[in-house]
Amino acid sequence: MDHLEVLESQSMFILREAYRSFGDLVMLWSIGKDSTVLLWLARKAFFGHVPIPLMHIDTTFKVPAMIEYRDRFAKQWKINMIVGKNEEVLESKETFPDGKTNRLQCCASLKSEALKHTLSGDWPRWVLNHKSGEYEKQLNGKPFTGVIVGARADEEGSRSKERYFSPRDRHNDWDVADQPPELWNQFKTDFAPGTHVRVHPLLDWTELNIWEYIERENIPIIDLYFDNGEGKRYRSLGCYPCTSSVDSTAKNVREVIAELRGGKFANIAERSGREQDKEDGSGLETLRRDGYM
Amino acid sequence: MSQVEEKNIKSEKTSSEQMNIVVIGHVDHGKSTVVGRLLADTGSLPEGKLEDVKERCKRNSKPFEYAFLLDALKDEQAQGITIDSARCFFRSAKREYIIIDAPGHIEFLKNMISGAARAEAAMLVIDAHEGVQENSRRHGYMLSMLGVKQVVVLVNKMDLVDYSQTVFDSIKEEYLAFLKEIDIEPMSFIPVSAREGVNIVSVSKKMSWHDGLSTLEALDSFVKEASPVDQPFRFPVQDIYKFTEQGDDRRIFAGRIETGTINVGDEVVFLPSEKKSRISSIEGFNVAEQSQAFAGQSTGFTLAEQIYVKPGEMMCKVDDTLPITSTHLKVNIFWMARQPMIKGKKYKIKLAGTRVPVWLRDVVTVLDASDLTTDSNRQQIERHDIAECVLETLKPLAFDITQNIAQTGRFVIIDNYEIAGGGVVLDEVYIPTSRIERRVQQRENNWQRSRITPKMRSSRYNQRSTLVLITGAAGDGKENLAKALEEDLFESKRMVYYLGISNSLLGIEDNIDESGERDESLRRLGEVSHLFTDAGLILITTIDDLDDFELEMINTLNRPNDCRVVNIGANQFTKATVDLQVDNLDSQKEAIKKIKDLLAEKKYIVDYSI
Ligand SMILES: Nc1nc2c(ncn2[C@@H]2O[C@H](COP(=O)(O)OP(=O)(O)OP(=O)(O)O)[C@@H](O)[C@H]2O)c(=O)[nH]1
Ligand SMILES: [Mg+2]
């Protein structure tokens, strides 16, 4: 088996292990390349089906093309699609783009908070009705206790220390100093009531592996990742006020891979376009201990 | 049949190779510095990262450490120590690596083990100035237990001992002697100074007496082990899928092939149930149709004959050497939890796909891996102990001896939701009586009998007592039948009772058998049955999807009283005798009549006449 086949097999194994072990499981889909690869791996693991609902946290500052793309594939692949958002903060405009708060705080409320409450079901969820093609507001959803996330160990420091199955306590907190052992392919699949788990099937993948796999499998990926003639593209998708595009003329997957292998991005960190990481030395660790994905 | 989506099949093969390497050794001996140096000196760091870390050190007036490139957590940087294993990605001219930088402090041994368990080879770092320490040895021992065979030893901080060959040689001699005792043959010893970057990416002239490799060259000299495709076939069933609601009626046995190779048409046997079938197809999504699958692949199969198998069983090829099936295992365990492992407490073992209750039966010897001293008088296993011991499971499970097939010869132990220990199987142990049998013997010995004998009850009630167990696939017909049977017998003045709680006791949630709760409920049911039958009643109950082992357990617990099995629909047992087979419940009356005939024939209801 080549390295992509090894990575693929391990991720499928992890997804199936999660599906076997946890009843109330959900997978996060940010529309970006990693979680789209994750979705594809779920289709691999479950033989073309997606038996786990997908959740998207909409900050409303995402590029509109992302939402269009999300709904197109949610329908085509018959996905049980759930959308969540922080209605209160969006209404009061306590956001960074509205100039009322800083980047870290904005991320914390539009992403972490929204995620926490949409997962627990105490905030409304918008669920795609496949018959009408519309989203319907749903109240009092049951809490999800397992969350599958497309985090990669190579993204930044605190992620390099993650487990495939990572427990979070009642308050969503991550105890980095005391993580459970993970031996061979036996993960922590037993949980005390009230606690829950993050599952990370993509930990061993690098950004380059992701693109190589997209190419090999011909996975339809959103075209914001490619230059449409203006010499600019996104390398990582976030909210538009905080994610800058990079100068690049890579027009397709093959050219992106060339850039990463030996070209201009071979040695430049992927998240370097994300401003919120920079606000303090370990901004992302702080966010992540607190439930950021 | 395989589905191929969007007209795409694997376009071209990328031939690149990836290897996982763990860096281990005693606390502060320089593991993170070695890795940091390796990344920095090969230009593998993202642009600006080194400058960032240096800048941050300056701002906080801390001396710069290469280790900070790895020790990313705030607590780690504050304490100058690695807490948890970090994965870092690194590419040499030869291949891609995931380098796992493990912590050396004893407090974080479980994190070191988590890192090392993922590795194919190891670099063990020893401080030249401090020499071989406790965890240099303990980590070395863990490698042998985790099955990591390729090891390179780095003698670090040579700058502190003036790059002295004498110091290097004496450390090499001492540590070689230790490795020999635990059967590890290191590939090489390399003198390095991580902080000064000596012998990291290239061999330096500083130590002209060293005629070996640099660290980077040693890394590239590790050999990628061939995938175990030629070993006996082992496929732990991870799950069984049927996505009927999505209009897919394939019944797929999903999992990962641990060892061996299999072809469509091969005859297979599932252990421990011993059910047999034949591979009908190999399933996949967005792949070309396959007629063969092999070790390492996460895949799925459909079978020619439909059989009832639960997740956790091991699928093997009928013609291969089969795994051992037993309830007793002789193992080597390392214990990681603060609470010791004790006798008489119920734990859970996870081995390949199986998850079952387990008890510690016997502690043979306990080893202190930091100095290889042993103790054979211990009753329990403490944190960080390595113990040879005997485990007993509630149900038989299929496993291999780790020396023969490592993948299906290792396991973890769960205590109170946590992975508390890990281990490898050394051998099977033959013990003539099962846990349940011992329990029943004990119960019968202590049972207080009154002057009313079973015989007296029997003649008073005009019947002999028995348990009537109605089994078969899930479905509500069985319960109605059981109720109707109770009514019928009651009307003819029998002492009869329908125990309606069995199935709800067992729960309808599919995960319940994994936590051992189903077994526990069945055990209780067995005890309850024994009470009713002892009181002289005919007890009727129904249980869905009962397997051979479970029936045996209920039978044993109900002894010395009788148990008669009425099976509805497909027979899911391989070994157990069914007293009455009823193919369908189209006519309930008919079924009741058959059961009553059986009861009459076996003389439970004596005066019953047709
Ligand atoms: N003089 C000298 N000091 C070194 C060398 N390598 C590492 N050190 C120092 O040793 C100390 C410990 O180094 P680390 O790399 O953090 O050690 P470690 O083995 O990763 O420690 P833990 O992960 O906590 O077990 C640091 O202060 C390093 O600067 C070396 O080659 N020479
Ligand atoms: Mg370290």
**All domains of chain B in start order, with CATH:** 3-221 (3.40.50.300), 229-317 (2.40.30.10), 324-433 (2.40.30.10), 451-601 (3.40.50.300)
Number of domains in chain A: 2
Separation of B78 CA from ligand 2 center, angstroms? 13
Q: Is B418 touching A (CB cutoff 8 A)?
A: yes
Check pocket membership of B81 for ligand 1, CB cut-off 6 A: yes
Helix and strand numbers, DSSP H then E, in chain B: 14, 26
Residue A279, pLDDT > 60, answer: no
Q: Minimal CA–CA distance to A233: which of A247, A217, A219?
A: A247
B488-519 confidence digits (pLDDT tens): 999 989 999 999 866 556 544 444 445 567 77
pTM of the model: 0.86
Check pocket membership of B206 for ligand 1, CB cut-off 6 A: no
The DSSP letter of residue A271 is G
Mark whether A149 and A190 lie in a shared domain. yes
Distance CA B429, CA B327 (A): 8
Distance CA B68, CA B45 (A): 13
Separation of B41 CA from ligand 1 center, angstroms? 17
Mark whether A178 and A248 lie in a shared domain. no
Mark whether A201 and A214 lie in a shared domain. no
User: In B161-211, which residue ranges form alpha helices assigned H by DSSP?
Assistant: 165-181
- The neighbour count for residue B372, using CB atoms within 10 Å, is 14
Residue A274, pLDDT > 60, answer: no
Q: Minimal CA–CA distance to B401: which of B186, B274, B230, B234?
A: B234
Mark whether A54 and A145 lie in a shared domain. yes
Mean predicted confidence (pLDDT) in A62-84: 90
Q: For residue A10, what pLDDT is reported?
A: 96
Contact criterion met (CB < 8 Å) for B89 and A154: yes
Q: For residue B511, what pLDDT is reported?
A: 44
Which candidate from B46, B252, B297 shows the least CB-CB separation from A9? B297
Mark whether A235 and A102 lie in a shared domain. no
Q: Residue B376 pairs with which residues in a beta bridge?
A: none
A146: domain CATH number is: 3.40.50.620
Distance CA B39, CA B194 (A): 12
* Angle B589-B591-B592 from CA coordinates, rounded to 5°: 65
Q: Which of A92-101, A225-234, B322-331 has the weakest average pLDDT?
A: A92-101
Q: Which of residues 120-149 of A touch B (CB under 8 A)?
A: none
Mark whether A122 and A185 lie in a shared domain. yes
Which residue has tokens 């009772």? B497
User: Which parts of chain B have pLDDT scores under 70?
Assistant: 1-15, 501-516, 607-610
**Number of residues written out for chain A:** 293
Angle between helices B134-146 and B165-181 (to 10 degrees): 40
Residue A286, pLDDT > 70, answer: no
Q: Which residues of chain A have a CB within 8 Å of the CB of B422?
A: 181, 183-184, 186
Which residue has tokens 């002789």? B330
Please check whether residue A142 is in contact with residue A118, taking contact to mean a CB–CB distance below 8 angstroms.
no
Q: For residue B514, what pLDDT is reported?
A: 52
Which residue has tokens 């292998």? A261
Q: Is B11 touching A (CB cutoff 8 A)?
A: yes
Protein residue with least CA distance to atom 32, ligand 1: B157
Q: Most A CBs within 10 Å: which of B286, B335, B416, as the mutation test of the A interface?
A: B286
Amino acid, single-letter form, for residue B174: E
Mark whether A231 and A155 lie in a shared domain. no
Contact criterion met (CB < 8 Å) for B348 and A190: yes
Mean predicted confidence (pLDDT) in A169-176: 72
Q: Which residues of chain A have a CB within 8 Å of the CB of B255?
A: 16
Distance CA B184, CA B369 (A): 14
Q: Which of residues 175-194 of A touch B (CB under 8 A)?
A: 176-177, 179-186, 188-192
Mean predicted confidence (pLDDT) in A128-137: 92
* Angle A56-A61-A64 from CA coordinates, rounded to 5°: 75
Expressed as residue numbers, the domain containing A190 is 3-205+283-289
**Number of residues written out for chain B:** 610
Q: Most A CBs within 10 Å: which of B84, B229, B258, B425, as the mutation test of the A interface?
A: B84
Q: Is B5 touching A (CB cutoff 8 A)?
A: yes
- The neighbour count for residue B392, using CB atoms within 10 Å, is 20
Separation of A158 CA from ligand 2 center, angstroms? 14
Q: For residue B285, what pLDDT is reported?
A: 94
Mark whether A196 and A237 lie in a shared domain. no
Mark whether A201 and A212 lie in a shared domain. no
Contact criterion met (CB < 8 Å) for A5 and B296: yes
Q: For residue B6, what pLDDT is reported?
A: 42
Which residue has tokens 């009537």? B468
Mark whether A161 and A270 lie in a shared domain. no
More confident residue, A94 or B303: B303
Integer CA distances (angstroms), A219 to A39, A90, A272, in order: 10, 33, 25
Check pocket membership of B193 for ligand 1, CB cut-off 6 A: yes
Distance CA B170, CA B370 (A): 19
Listed in order, strand segments (DSSP E) in chain A are: 25-28, 54-57, 81-84, 125-129, 134-138, 146-148, 165-168, 196-199, 232-233, 246-247
Mark whether A154 and A127 lie in a shared domain. yes
Q: Which residues of chain A have a CB within 8 Å of the CB of B332?
A: none
A197 three-class SS: strand
Q: For residue A8, what pLDDT is reported?
A: 97
Mark whether A68 and A195 lie in a shared domain. yes
Q: Which helix (H) or strand (E) holds A98?
A: none
Chain B nearest-CA distance from A73, in A, is 13
CA dihedral B40, B46, B51, B52 (to 10 degrees): -130
